[in-house]
Amino acid sequence: MFIEVAKVGDIAPGGMIAVEANKKELVLCNYEGKIYAVSRRCGHTNAPLEMGTLEGYILTCPLHYSQFDITTGEALSGTVPRHFGDEPMPESIGRFFQYAGMLISKIKTYDLETYPVKIDGNSIMIEV
């Protein structure tokens, strides 16, 4: 069943918004005037994807920069190693980041769920 989640004018071209429907969190993406709906949580560590960037059809996660194809939900790349600068940091903090980095590198990046979208007049309808 399709339900209304937003109005067409709510998303600027190239933009994204987060919506919630049927207890599911989704991101609506406007790619060249067409609306795509994908799950809001990153397929890596659940970061909110609408806070990332949308470049064409490629959505980049704001947390570890995994990328996804919004038209299919396919994970296009894994995480990008983070650099914390060349200044030495306190040993305890350095050890924490090393440990966290090791854990993050062990987490796979999965595809996103995609959802059928229908435009009805001025309404964006999603089947969830």
Partner 1 sequence: MNVESRKKALRFMFQKVVDPLGYKFSPDEETVDFLLEQEVMLEQKHGIPFCPCQGLTRKREENMKIVCPCIPFHREHFDAIKRCWCLLFVTKDVTNPDELKQIPFGEIKRG
Q: Can you give the binding site for partner 1, defined by CB under 8 A?
A: 55-58, 67, 69, 74-81, 83, 86, 109
Residues 6 or more apart in contact with residue 95 via CB below 8 angstroms: none
Distance from C-alpha of 17 to C-alpha of 28, rounded to nearest angstrom: 5
Q: How far is the CB of 79 from partner 1 (least distance, A)?
A: 6
CA distances from 1 to 43, 50, 70 (A): 25, 24, 21
Q: Around Cβ 80, how many Cβ atoms within 10 Å?
A: 12
Residue 31 · residue 57 · CB < 8 Å: yes
> Nearest distance from residue 23's CB to partner 1, in Å?
30
Residue whose CB is less far from partner 1, 20 or 55: 55
Closer Cβ to partner 1, 23 or 83, answer by number = 83
Which one, 50 or 69, has the nearer CB to partner 1?
69
Closest approach of partner 1 to the CB of residue 75, in Å: 6
